[in-house]
Structure 1
């Protein structure tokens, strides 16, 4: 009971990706990178200046996250939202020019929000200097020549990926008390209060995030992520009727998974495209949703609806299958969809094919 159905025989493409992923992992070991990247520390979510406060309040209103810190630095204002047992979400807006993500943010329906996207997934490292030295020797490019230093941490991030538009950041904490305030930053008193809604206690930390990538870039996006982290490629769920593949990368002992959703074949140009390729045409390659672990999902979703949240579909899945999931509508402030996911019992899979198909189909309603 609660076992993931057996996967169908692997295609030649899938076998090839698994072989390449094994090679990448061996290259990581040979380079001395094993053990240098830990779990997900935080996610950096950028908004337009006028949407910063509404975006933060939306997360306070619809997730279990609470404000831990707020600050100004030279070119941005940021709020740090956190929850025990979860990666933090850093919501920021830039005041200055020179956004390195501006090029990847331009698409048919995202042009009005040129600075808005989940930009960076930040992972811990016990030795940032060693990590940077090794990766520079492997031709990895970073946004700064050397790590940025503050009283609490050292931090660096890669240039945006040509395959996903995402950056990966790496942080080494110097002290037991974490503070994301950069050197020269000014701490401010948060001016927002989290609603006291009882159902928010059912919503826990980040379970996974899913990035939409082009069909022809699927393997490159996954292998790039493996090259930069200590994750491994797990499996892909093919939904041929929707021209879609959902691929999962995980790290042993880590709750957070990275998901990549792509077309099976590239956008054909004749209007007959699946929801994944349609999303990319409209919004570009970007993170589509953040998923939050949720208890009492039916009651929680009912309460979220009463509080004004709209959803793209009804709850899919069952306790017998091992999990239930649902997508919210996209946020007008961040373009991000919230997924709420409840896992049951001894379920040892990550997704079920039937859930993936229904959720992928719902993406076409955005």
Structure 2
């Protein structure tokens, strides 16, 4: 009998190693047999950090560009953690701002060894929180499989919610993964600090929501569709296998993007076919490492990003409702409206209705360095991209003006 997590057809044309194929089967069969697949469910929240003084403007930016709304702020000794929510069927977004720019810690250290990452030392995506039905049992089983967790004392020192178990940063993605026990229908509660509603955060979000409604886009932007992480070329397979071991996701498949010398690798939840319920996790990696580039000039936008920022989340994709506004497809309508508010995009919308979807990347946020992708699918299209689309998007992200500027500044600083 085929294991539940291995019962899904694999898509794509990327060839994986014998090691990957062997351990994909072993790890998912073990996960199912241990009962982990039936105890670990959706992505309940995503966590990220911003530099001091950046969170309120970022809340305003997100409330304009997404369905998220400001809910509450949890204040601890050294941080403000702002909770943004759509509803209980979509993951929360936790935006964490350090109060003092001199604050040191493990998450800052993950930035400081990379030339552009170090320029915004507190700004990075941290990871996901997964809902589980039995926290103690999940942690016990995962520890037996070799995963290392922060101790309760570590969690207190890091000022993270005390009702979570949190796996230490991945050596492949630099992300953490937390587990939060919660039954369906129960509220999400984060045991951290003092809960307050900050007037400045509330006002920033309300003003953005009023603009969103006035622009006519408030009903068109849907929850998070997928989260895309960029990793080193040599870590592609192990990063995927690690995530599949930690979560209840399955391997959807991989596509080779030859003209950008990279691959796009997709994993999806075994419990929810709708990505808006639990976003797909996508991993992008170069096909060749940077140190062979002097033999032949390979395009390397993904490897360059990782070398400059470190392995990390590159973009968060939001779905756009299928349909049009007086003959203008919804994604075009949304992008035009947001562009008129001063937000730039890296290229024009790519794709077509005939191909099944259209996509676009925003420029990277000055607050979080994250890109927002919008994706509109037509007629029930189930894929995440076409090869031409993803090649154009990958290329555009590689020549993003902010990245080039910061890279030049970092190189100049190293020469001094």
Are the counterparts in 1 of residues 62 and 68 from structure 2 also a CA contact under 8 Å? yes
Q: Deviations over 1:120-143 (max 9, x none)?
A: 211100111111111112221112
For 1:286-365, list aligned pairs within 5 A.
286-295=312-321, 296-365=330-399
> What is aligned with 1:90?
94
Are the counterparts in 1 of residues 32 and 38 from structure 2 also a CA contact under 8 Å? no
Change (3 A) 1:36 1:98: farther
Matched, 1:206 2:224: yes
SS in 2 for 1:169: strand
Tell me which of 134, 142, 157 is aligned to 1:135: 142
Matched, 1:99 2:108: no
Q: Deviations over 1:306-334 (max 9, x none)?
A: 01110111111111111111000000110
> What is aligned with 2:234?
216
Distance 2:90 2:185 in 1: 17
Tell me which of 127, 133, 138 is aligned to 1:120: 127
Superposition deviation, residue 68 in structure 1:
1.7
Distance 2:40 2:315 in 1: 24
Q: Which has the higher contact order (CA 8 A, sep 6+)?
A: 1
Q: Deviations over 1:282-302 (max 9, x none)?
A: 211110000001131111110
Q: Deviations over 1:229-277 (max 9, x none)?
A: 1111111111122110110011132411000000011112537441101
How many residue pairs match? The answer is 358
Distance 2:298 2:36 in 1: 43
Distance 2:379 2:190 in 1: 40
Distance 1:182 1:148 in 2: 11
Distance 1:115 1:180 in 2: 25
SS in 2 for 1:221: helix
Distance 2:192 2:183 in 1: 14
Structure 2 unaligned regions, length at least 5: 1-9, 322-329, 401-416
Matched, 1:109 2:110: no
Are the counterparts in 1 of residues 217 and 334 from structure 2 also a CA contact under 8 Å? yes
Deviates more, 1:297-306 or 1:84-93: 84-93
For 1:3-42, list aligned pairs within 5 A.
11=15, 13=16, 16-42=19-45
> What is aligned with 1:258?
281
Change (3 A) 1:200 1:23: same
SS in 2 for 1:50: coil
SS in 2 for 1:101: helix
What TM-score, normalized by structure 2, do the two folds share?
0.80
Superposition deviation, residue 148 in structure 1:
6.9
Are the counterparts in 2 of residues 128 and 154 from structure 1 also a CA contact under 8 Å? no
Q: Deviations over 1:200-243 (max 9, x none)?
A: 33111000010000000001100000110111111111112211
SS in 1 for 2:369: coil
Are the counterparts in 1 of residues 13 and 255 from structure 2 also a CA contact under 8 Å? no
Superposition deviation, residue 23 in structure 1:
1.6
Distance 2:71 2:237 in 1: 37
Are the counterparts in 2 of residues 46 and 117 from structure 1 also a CA contact under 8 Å? yes
Superposition deviation, residue 55 in structure 1:
1.4
How well do the aligned residues superpose, as a CA RMSD in angstroms?
Answer: 2.4
- Structure with higher helix content: 2
Distance 1:332 1:162 in 2: 26
SS in 2 for 1:224: helix
> What is aligned with 1:3?
none
SS in 2 for 1:260: strand
Distance 1:157 1:360 in 2: 31
